[in-house]
Chains A and B, each alone.
Chain A
Amino acid sequence: MIEVRNLRKGFGDRTVISDVSAVMETGKCNLIIGASGSGKTVLMKCMVGLLDPDAGDIIYDNLRFTGMNTGEKKEMRRQIGMLFQGSALFDSMTVEQNVMFPLDMFSNMTRGEKQKRVDEVLARVQLVEAHRKFPAEISGGMKKRVGIARAIVLNPRYLFCDEPNSGLDPQTSLVIDKLIREITLEYNITTVVNTHDMNSVMEMGDRIFYMYQGYKEWEGSNQEIIFSKNEKLNAFIFASDFLRDAKDMRMLELKGRISDQRDMDSMLRES
């Protein structure tokens, strides 16, 4: 479990995060959503220690991360895996070397054991024939999967994913979302995902935190988001007519009012 308490962060005169508190639960996909510039990336960077917050606390399973010294933070970070927006794979290394890197650096495994573990995680992300390829030779979706494999190779307790679907087609996005969700349940880890992809929200949002201009504006599950009366949230999520219609239909469906195809057709005509 990760707890964020009254977090504040600014750059110069500009406040980017104002008094944000949230609890990210273990074994669940915790989504931070919001428009560009709403502070979700800064919040995530504060949570993993890439940025130091101006005030507030970040607590990892009763351990106060914000109060740790450099050495303790380094130790803590070994329990954190992160998938970056651009995958952040090391260009000069092959897929296999990228995934093996954390093992080379931090484990005392033998060469054979490391190879076995790498094969295992690459198989888990369905990448079995890309071992010898360089990042420049693989697709965006494959890069994301290598990023996930590298993030989980040391069996982390916390997984952070920054915009895992950016630059991917809807079908590949779905595969990545599914993979993140499966890994979260399989390894029973605390997953935090930064996204503004509504498919991801509906697909894997066990817990959703909506950020608006640096504040946490709304919090709930992917079922609750449909019925939310929060205007800012609705304006963000259901930005297009199509999505608004889809929302109405989903609401009706959930309320059991759409009984057959004929009702749905009439609703579509009305909209």
Chain B
Amino acid sequence: MYFFRHFGSFILMIRGMFSRPENYRMYWKELMHQCVELGIGSLGIVSIISVFIGAVSTVQTAYQLVSPLVPISTIAQIVRDTVILEFAPTLSCIVLAGVVGSKIASELGNMRVSEQIDALEIMGINTRAYLIMPKIVACLIMIPLLVVIAMTVGIWGGRFAGQAAGIMSYEVFDRGLFKDFIAYNVTFALTKAYTFAFIISAIPAYYGYHVRGGALEIGQSSTRAVVTSCVTVLLADYILAALLLD
């Protein structure tokens, strides 16, 4: 019952976002602001995580690949595919669920508790459209871009680690990198990125927008938003893999 009540409320929130903007220029300004806040603001953490994930993947794959019958360039293939298929979209989005999710939930929660949302409503502004829609759209624009950056930086990190640890040269890595490349993997990764982008923006927005109480409740809803987003991302990850990688 609890789940259905929240799900129904979530659907109503999403439906409520679709109305004619009161002023297109102000909505555009807000969208650009959110793209910078949520997208550019997360670039640093995504890059750092991706470099290390790629580097660790190379080192650990080399450690496990002990057979002399398997060419060393296979490591680059494995790193490429794991980074593209799983690490870049899923791991980046799990981290972003924490960074972006808590930011969205606490910002909206604070606005709700301090009556700023009521103030906007009194002015005749559709707060779902003005406050939530730009955040979700900004995530749908920026997170796939961040995932593409995470893929590139992750593979670069793996390539660098291979050379630095003396596992293989750049030439050998590059040979493996371009061997048997399946373009569909990138399409699949971007499909995941769009799905996760919606999850990690809409769920925290729901929790933040519906906060009741004070500072304590803002913290609680922020935590709940991040946990729910992470679990939903993992669930969606499995469903998409089962459906699209058949």
A48 and B125 alpha carbons, distance in the complex (Å): 13
Whether the pair A75, B124 counts as a contact (CB closer than 8 A) is yes
Chain B residues numbered 189-214 whose CB sits less than 8 Å from any CB in chain A: none
A106 CA to B24 CA, complexed, in Å: 11
The answer on a CB contact under 8 Å between B26 and A50 is no
* Minimal beta-carbon separation of B13 from chain A (angstroms): 15
Return the contact of B22 from the options A50, A90, A106 (Cβ within 8 A): A106
Interface residues of B (CB under 8 A from A): 22-23, 26, 110, 114-116, 118-119, 121-126
Q: A82-B122, A90-B119, A105-B26 provided; 11 other pairs, C-beta below 8 A?
A: A48-B122, A73-B124, A74-B126, A76-B124, A77-B121, A77-B124, A84-B118, A86-B114, A104-B26, A106-B123, A150-B119
Q: Is the pair A88, B23 in contact by a Cβ cutoff of 8 Å?
A: no
What 7 pairs across the A-B complex have the smallest Cβ distances?
A77-B124, A88-B115, A88-B119, A74-B124, A84-B115, A82-B122, A78-B124
Whether the pair A90, B116 counts as a contact (CB closer than 8 A) is yes
With an 8 Å Cβ cutoff, the count of chain A residues facing the other chain is 26
A106 to B22, alpha carbons, bound, how many Å?
A: 7
Q: How far is the CB of B123 from chain A (nearest CB, A)?
A: 6
Name the distance in Å between A190's Cβ and chain B's nearest Cβ: 15
Contact residues, A60-88 vs B (CB, 8 A): 73-78, 80-82, 84-86, 88
User: Is the beta-carbon distance between B115 and A105 smaller than 8 angstroms?
Assistant: no
Query: A88 CA to B117 CA in the complex, in Å?
Result: 8
Q: Is the CB of A77 within 8 A of B123?
A: yes
Q: Which residues of A contact B114 (CB under 8 A)?
A: 86, 88, 91
Q: Return B127 CB to nearest CB of chain A, in Å.
A: 11
User: Given the known A-B contacts A105-B23, A105-B26, A106-B23, are A50 and B118 also in contact in the complex, defined by CB atoms under 8 Å?
Assistant: yes
B215, chain A: closest CB distance, angstroms: 13
Report chain B residues within 8 Å CB of A74.
Answer: 22, 124, 126
Determine the distance from Cα of A125 to Cα of B121 in the docked complex, in whole angstroms: 24
Chain A residues with Cβ below 8 Å from B126 are 74
> Min CB distance, B117 to chain A, in Å?
9
Contact (Cβ within 8 A) B122 A105:
no
Closest to B115 in A: A88
Assess the B118–A88 pair: CB atoms within 8 A: yes
Interface check A140, CB cutoff 8 A: no
**26 intermolecular pairs with C-beta atoms under 8 Å apart:** A50-B121, A50-B122, A74-B124, A76-B124, A77-B121, A77-B122, A78-B123, A78-B124, A81-B122, A82-B122, A84-B115, A88-B114, A88-B119, A89-B116, A90-B116, A90-B119, A91-B114, A101-B123, A102-B123, A104-B23, A104-B26, A105-B23, A105-B26, A105-B123, A106-B22, A160-B122
The contact of B119 among A49, A73, A82, A106, by CB within 8 Å, is A82
CB distance from B205 to the nearest CB of A (A): 17
CA distance A89 to B116 in the complex (A): 6
Q: Which residues of A contact B119 (CB under 8 A)?
A: 82, 84, 88, 90, 150
**In the complex the two chains form, is B116's CB within 8 Å of A80's CB?**
no
**0/1 string, A117-148, CB within 8 A of B gives 1:** 00000000000000000000000000000000
Give every chain B residue within 8 A of A49 (Cβ-Cβ). 121-122
**A75 vs B116: C-alpha distance when bound (angstroms):** 19
Contacts of A90 in B (CB 8 A): 116, 119
Q: With A and B bound together, what is the CA distance between A50 and B110 in angstroms?
A: 18
Within the complex, what minimum Cβ distance (angstroms) separates A71 from chain B?
Answer: 9
Give the docked Cα–Cα distance between A177 and B1 (Å).
48
**Taking the nearest CB of chain B, how far is it from the CB of A268, in angstroms?**
43
A101 to B130, CA, bound (A): 13
CB distance from B156 to the nearest CB of A (A): 36
The closest CB in chain A to the CB of B130 belongs to A105
- Which residues of chain A come closer than 8 Å to B115, judged between CB atoms? 84-86, 88
State which residues 85-122 of A face B: CB under 8 Å. Answer: 85-86, 88-91, 101-102, 104-106
**CB–CB A80/B23 < 8 A:** no
Smallest CB gap from A162: residue in B: B115
Which of B22, B23, B26, B123: most chain A Cβ within 10 A?
B123
Most A-side CB within 10 Å, residue of B115, B122, B125: B122
Contacts of A86 in B (CB 8 A): 114-115
Q: From A154, which residue of chain B is reached at the shortest CB distance?
A: B123
**Which chain B positions have C-beta within 8 A of A150?**
119
B23: chain A residues at CB < 8 Å are 104-106
Q: Chain A's nearest CB lies how many Å from the CB of B38? A: 14
Q: Are B22 and A88 in contact (CB under 8 A)?
A: no
**A98 to chain B: closest residue by CB:** B119
Q: Which residues of B contact A76 (CB under 8 A)?
A: 124
Whether B22 lies near A105 (C-beta < 8 A) is yes
B122 touches A80 (CB 8 A): yes
Residues from chain A with Cβ under 8 Å of B118 in the complex: 50, 84, 88
Nearest-Cβ distance from residue B135 to partner chain A, whole angstroms: 14
